[in-house]
Amino acid sequence: MPDTLNINNKGVAQNTYDAIVIGSGISGGWAAKELCEHGLKTLVLERGRNVVHNKDYPTATMNPWDFPHRGEMPKKFVDENPLITEAAGFDESTSHFFIKDKDHPYVQEKPFEWIRGYQVGGKSLIWGRACPRWSKYEFINPAKFGYGIEWPIGYDDIAPWYSHAELFAGICGNKDGIEAMPDGEYLPPFDFNCAEKDLQQKISSKYKDRFMIQGRWAQLTQPTALHLSQGRGKCQARDLCMRGCPFGAYFSSVSSTLPWANKTGNLTIRPFSVVHSIIYDEKKNKAVGVRIIDANTHQATEYFSKIIFVNASALNSNLILLNSTSSRFPNGFGNDNGLLGKYVCFQNYRGSVGGDVEGYEDKYYYGRRTAECMMANFRNIKKNDVDFVGGYMAFTGCYRERGQREQQTPEIGADYKDSMSEAGNWGMYMYMQGETVPKKENHVALSQDKKDQWGIPLLTTSVGYDDNDEKMLKDFLTQSSEMLDNCGIKNIKQHDNHWAPGRDIHEMGGCRMGKDPKTSMLNKMNQFHNCKNVFVTDGACMASTANQSPSILYMALTARAANYAVDELKRGNL
């Protein structure tokens, strides 16, 4: 807390709601939607500024020449922000949705790149939007093959909630019948271009266990009546998503779930609210509210509710829970087993391959497709068939390069202008998204001596790669190169980017679900084992990472838990 504590409660009744949601990003927005729809007066706490759909997208329709540095960031800014400027999608047109390094420090015991966006909408404004489902094997395999605890739920438990989230959010894709990447409720996909179609057919003919598919992406290719009723429209294939989409064509909490919740009349959003801790009442044996510090005035205020959803994004949720101490929970909220902050994991993005595609000199493609193709996982599905555990999927695509004359021409003058109408050779790329092993030593904790400007301890990260990650990387590079060579790709190059963990922006764990209170923090409904009116449904709840992108699972878990919480409230159990 700040050195001088002056809590402004404005009267408990005025600060009391049915539910409090900490965080307004992908999962927080879903919690607000579901709770408000069921009639709960819901307070959403967001540490950053307010963002209103369309109103607060300052660069959405700007041309390249409208930017002072043509999209690049000045050297001074890059030098002052070496972390955030490495984030995927960060440039002059999107920088307003990312933090600045110096404003939000943390302590790295090992290199870890913590990418953050603090505003209403959180990282849902700047996410990659890939939405494949987990298969049943991702829930089973960690325990089956001995590299994780048993999940308290299986695919059949979450499948209906996947459908619930997909139908509302709007996910494009194709029903491909692949066991490792189950089908969902999809809008029409972005189609392959000519080179991708050829590559897909060659892979299918040469490999019976490898499937290149049209990507499952949170883009409205053909909006339904439900999407139009949200005020959203069709994707225009501008590929400027991270600026904020004026059409609402990609899913974000700002364009979809929060406005939907607001229409109920049950939503209150409080921006500039840095959550300090959850308040636990030892007489009632439950949480009763949340203490915040106003980001601008540093005034402390307490809000009260019957249930609390923690959706601050995985590592911030861990920070808040670790800082929520009481006589009952001296080591952090719900932390009887000492595992809070432990088993933090991420996804392995280090490997990529690329090469030249021959032919199609008379072909091109139109629009700026916002969805990549996907290669479903083919490793360690039904049995552990290699010398590492876990699997990997890949993102891939084909493109046509600039013409040679343009590449060799100074970027000014008539020759440059003429060369822009030419096209060069076709190329392709593929990069991995690999599962990592949850390990106790990969953890986060509170700094013992460093605090932020609001008097809250800084987060210390200690997360690294292991031998399993290196073996998986090697396998991806070898298998992908051989596969592409067999499909006629030329001049294949392999690359290990040596990224530190964190730049994948898929950090998970620290407050994991499980069947046993001795080895996990949350039960099958995302409740704390030892405090049933607090739910965690963002990435912090994950017991393992799988190989698929996680965001659509967060949406499904949140919707499931929120509906359960409403039912339990009605029964008087919370």
Helix-strand-coil split of the chain, %, nearest 5: 25, 25, 50
Contact criterion met (CB below 8 Å) for 566 and 535: no
**Would the pLDDT of 3 be above 50?**
no
**Res. 404: pLDDT tops 50:** yes
Over residues 359-371, mean pLDDT:
87
Q: What is the pLDDT of residue 364?
A: 85
User: Is residue 11 very low, low, confident or very high in pLDDT (cuts 50, 70, 90)?
Assistant: low
Mean pLDDT calculated for residue range 406-412: 63
Q: What is the pLDDT of residue 423?
A: 80
| Per-residue pLDDT at 486 exceeds 60 | yes
- For the chain, how far is it from start to end, CA to CA, in angstroms? 28
pLDDT at residue 7 in the model? 60
Query: What confidence score (pLDDT) does residue 10 get?
Result: 62
Which residues have C-beta within 8 Å of that of residue 201, sequence separation ≥ 6? none
The answer, yes or no, to whether residue 6 has pLDDT greater than 70, is no
Pairing of strands 457-462, 490-496: unpaired
Nearest residue to 484 (alpha-carbon basis) of 426, 547, 424, 430 = 430
Does the structure show a pLDDT above 90 at 422? Answer: no
- The share of the chain scoring above pLDDT 70, in percent, equals 96
pLDDT of residue 13 exceeding 90: no
Higher per-residue pLDDT: 404 or 524: 524
Average pLDDT over residues 104-117: 97
What is the pLDDT of the chain when averaged over all its residues? 95
CATH value of 13-570 in 3.40.30.10, 3.30.420.130, 3.40.980.10, 3.50.50.60? 3.50.50.60
Once rounded to an integer, what is the mean pLDDT over residues 125-146? 98
pLDDT over 70 (residue 9): no
The residue ranking higher by pLDDT, 18 or 413, is 18
Q: Check if the beta carbon of residue 396 is closer than 8 Å to that of residue 211.
A: no
Q: What is the model's pLDDT at position 1?
A: 38
Report the pLDDT value the prediction gives residue 224, as an integer from 0 to 100.
Answer: 98
Domain boundaries, the chain: 13-570
Q: Of the given ranges (294-303, 366-375, 557-566), which has the lowest mean pLDDT?
A: 366-375
Tell me what the mean pLDDT of segment 521-549 comes to. Answer: 98
Q: Radius of gyration (Cα) for the chain, nearest Å?
A: 24
Q: Is the pLDDT of residue 2 over 50?
A: no
What confidence score (pLDDT) does residue 4 get? 40
Q: What is the pLDDT of residues 206-254, one digit of tens each?
A: 999 999 999 999 999 999 999 999 999 999 999 999 999 999 999 999 9
- pLDDT at 355 exceeding the cut of 90: yes
Among residues 22, 45, 42, 23, which one has the least CA distance to residue 32?
42
Among the ranges given (86-95, 99-108, 334-343, 365-374), the one the predictor scored with the smallest mean pLDDT: 365-374
Sheet containing 273-281: order of strands: 273-281, 286-294, 300-304
Q: Who contacts 107 (Cβ-Cβ below 8 Å, separation ≥6)? A: 447, 450, 458, 459, 460, 461
Q: Can you tell me whether residue 66 is helix, strand or coil? A: helix
At residue 416, the pLDDT reads 74
Cβ pair 121, 271 in contact under 8 A: no
The confidence score (pLDDT) of residue 407 equals 55
For residue 546, what pLDDT is reported? 97
Is pLDDT of 562 > 90?
Answer: yes
The residues with which 308 forms a beta bridge, in sequence order, are 20, 534
Tens digits of per-residue pLDDT, 20-35?
999 999 999 999 999 9
Structure tokens at 116: 């953050």
- List all residues 6 or more positions away from 412 whose beta carbon is below 8 Å from its beta carbon: none
What percent of the chain clears pLDDT 90, i.e. is strictly above it?
91
pLDDT at 366 (0 to 100): 80
Mean pLDDT of the region 508-531? 98
DSSP reduced 3-state for 174: coil
Instruction: Look at residue 406 in the predicted model and tell me its pLDDT.
Output: 46
Q: Helices (H) and strands (E) in the chain — how many of each?
A: 12, 23
Q: Distance (Å, rounded) from C-alpha 259 to C-alpha 106?
A: 33
Higher pLDDT, 456 or 8: 456
Residue 417: predicted pLDDT: 73
The stretch 281-303 carries a mean pLDDT of 97
pLDDT range class, residue 414, cuts 50, 70, 90: confident
**The pLDDT of residue 363:** 86
pLDDT tens digits, 434-472: 999 999 999 999 999 999 999 999 999 999 999 999 999
Burial 499-528 (b: 16+ CB within 10 A, else e): bbbbbbbbbbbbbbbbbebeebbbbbbbbb
| Confidence check: pLDDT of 402 > 90 | no
Highest averaged pLDDT of the listed ranges 48-57, 354-363, 405-414: 48-57
Q: What's the CA gap between 506 and 435, in Å, rounded?
A: 11
Per-residue pLDDT, averaged over 555-574, amounts to: 97
In this predicted structure, the answer to whether residue 409 has a pLDDT above a threshold of 80 is no
